[in-house]
C-alpha cells in the first residue's frame, strides 16, 4: 500500500496561536473518522505571537503535522506557494487558521476531486458572518471576476478549496494572487472547476489580518492575471499590434500633411507651415509611441518565460 497521503492540508497563518490546537484536533478527528492518510502543513507567515511554538508542540504530538516559518510577513500568497511546493498528497486542501472554515467539509471536497473528476473545487460561503464593509466589496469583486474570467464561481476568495496535486504543482502564486487561484488554474489549462456551499463560522479568536488595501489590490491583481493569462507568453500580440496601429496612424497623417503641402505648392498657393499644424505633432507623437510599443513587444518576447525563482527570496525554516 502506498504511503502517499490521501489529503494534504495547507494552512497559512499569522498570529493565530489561540486557534491552532482546536483547529488541529478538529481536523485530526475528521481525518481519523474517514480513515484518511493526511498531512497538515502550517505555514507561519511571520507571526509575532506563540504560533510557531504551538506548531512545534503539535508536530511532536502528531507525526502528520508539518510546519514552515517565515522570518517575516510575506503574505498569504507566498505562504500558499511554499506550502504547495512541500505537499505530497493526492488532493490538496487549503483553509484558513481562524476556525471560520469547517474541516467537516473536507471529505466531500476530497470526493468531488477524486470521484467527481474536478481539477479544483472552491468553497462558497453562501451565508457569511462578516461585517457589511467586507461582504459588499466581496460581492462586487466576485461579480467582476466572473465577468472577466468566465469562471462561474460565487466566492473566488474563499480560503477553503481542494485541488488535484497536478494543479498546485503547475501554478505559481505570488504577490497577492491568492484571491484568484481559480483564474490562474484556468489559464494553466485546468478547466474543470467546481463549487461547493460550505459552512462559515464566526471568528472565535483574534481579528482579521486583511485591511482596506485589499480593496485596491484586488482589482489590480485581477487585471494583472487577466493580462498575463492572455499575453504573458505572447506580449508581441498586444504591444506589437497597438504599436503598429499607432505607427500607421502617424504615418498616414504625415503622408496627408505632406500631400497637402505639395498640393498648395503646385497651385502656387502659400501653404501654412507643417509645424504650425496640430496634426503634425499628433502624427509625430503617435509614430514615436508606436515604435516604442513595438520595441516593448520585442523585449517582452525575450522575457516571456517567467522567472523560475520568483519566490527564491523567501527565508523560512521548517519542521
How does pLDDT run across 239-290, given as a tens digit for each residue?
Answer: 888 899 999 999 999 998 888 888 888 887 887 788 888 888 999 999 999 9
Residues 6 or more apart whose Cβ sits within 8 Å of residue 109: 91, 93, 121, 123, 160, 161, 162, 196
Q: Where are the alpha helices (DSSP H) in 34-128?
A: 51-61, 76-86, 106-114
What's the confidence (pLDDT) of residue 102? 93
What's the confidence (pLDDT) of residue 1? 47
- Arithmetic mean of pLDDT over the chain: 85
pLDDT at 131 over 90: no
What tens digit of pLDDT does each residue of 224-238 get? 666 666 666 677 777
Q: Which three cell numbers stand for residue 15?
A: 498570529
Q: How confident is the model at residue 139 (pLDDT cuts 50, 70, 90)?
A: confident
Winning range, highest mean pLDDT, from 115-119, 179-183, 279-283: 115-119
pLDDT at 310 over 60: no
Burial class (CB in 10 A: 0-12, 13-18, 19+), 152: exposed
Using CA atoms, how far residue 76 sits from 40, 177, 261, 288, in Å, is 17, 9, 62, 42
Return the percentage of the chain with pLDDT > 90, whole number: 50
Q: Where are the beta strands (DSSP E) in 181-301?
A: 193-197
Burial class (CB in 10 A: 0-12, 13-18, 19+), 275: exposed
pTM above 0.85, yes or no: no
What average pLDDT does the segment 149-174 reach? 90
Winning range, highest mean pLDDT, from 123-137, 195-209, 263-277: 263-277
Given its phi and psi angles, is residue 123 left (phi above 0), alpha (psi -120 to 50 degrees) or beta? beta
Return the higher-pLDDT residue of 151 and 201.
151
Q: 255: how many CB neighbours lie within 10 A of its CB?
A: 11
What's the confidence (pLDDT) of residue 8? 97
pLDDT at 86 over 80: yes
**94 contacts 161 by C-beta, under 8 angstroms:** yes
What's the confidence (pLDDT) of residue 34? 96
Nearest Cα neighbor of 274 from 286, 259, 287, 285 is 259
pLDDT at 48 over 90: yes
What tens digit of pLDDT does each residue of 4-40 get? 999 999 999 999 999 999 999 999 999 999 999 999 9
Amino acid at each position: 500500500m502506498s504511503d502517499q497521503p490521501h489529503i494534504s492540508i495547507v494552512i497559512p497563518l499569522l498570529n493565530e496561536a489561540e486557534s491552532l490546537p482546536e483547529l488541529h484536533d478538529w481536523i485530526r478527528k475528521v481525518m481519523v473518522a474517514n480513515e484518511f492518510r493526511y498531512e497538515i502543513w502550517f505555514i507561519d507567515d511571520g507571526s509575532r505571537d506563540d504560533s510557531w511554538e504551538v506548531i512545534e508542540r503539535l508536530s511532536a504530538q502528531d507525526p502528520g503535522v508539518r510546519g514552515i516559518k517565515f522570518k517575516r510577513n510575506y503574505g498569504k500568497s507566498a505562504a500558499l506557494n511554499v506550502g504547495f511546493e512541500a505537499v505530497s498528497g493526492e488532493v490538496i486542501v487549503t483553509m484558513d487558521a481562524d476556525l471560520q472554515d469547517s474541516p467537516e467539509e473536507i471529505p466531500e471536497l476530497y470526493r468531488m476531486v477524486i470521484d467527481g473528476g474536478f481539477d479544483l473545487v472552491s468553497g462558497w460561503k453562501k451565508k457569511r458572518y462578516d461585517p457589511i464593509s467586507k461582504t459588499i466589496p466581496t460581492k462586487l469583486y466576485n461579480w467582476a471576476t466572473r465577468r472577466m474570467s468566465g469562471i462561474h464561481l460565487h466566492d473566488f476568495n474563499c480560503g477553503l478549496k481542494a485541488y488535484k496535486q497536478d494543479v498546485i504543482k503547475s501554478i505559481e502564486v505570488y504577490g497577492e494572487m491568492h484571491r484568484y487561484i481559480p483564474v490562474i488554474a484556468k489559464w494553466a489549462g485546468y478547466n474543470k472547476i467546481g463549487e461547493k456551499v460550505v459552512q462559515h463560522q464566526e471568528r472565535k479568536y483574534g481579528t482579521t489580518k486583511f485591511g482596506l488595501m485589499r480593496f485596491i489590490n484586488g482589482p489590480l491583481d485581477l487585471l494583472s492575471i487577466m493580462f498575463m493569462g492572455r499575453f504573458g507568453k505572447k506580449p508581441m500580440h498586444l504591444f506589437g499590434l497597438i504599436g503598429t496601429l499607432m505607427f500607421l496612424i502617424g504615418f498616414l497623417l504625415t503622408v496627408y500633411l505632406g500631400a497637402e503641402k505639395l498640393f498648395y505648392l503646385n497651385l502656387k498657393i502659400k501653404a501654412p507651415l507643417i509645424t504650425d499644424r496640430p496634426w503634425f505633432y499628433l502624427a509625430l507623437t503617435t509614430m514615436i509611441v508606436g515604435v516604442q510599443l513595438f520595441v516593448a513587444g520585442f523585449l517582452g518576447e525575450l522575457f516571456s518565460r517567467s522567472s523560475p525563482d520568483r519566490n527564491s527570496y523567501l527565508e523560512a525554516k521548517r519542521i
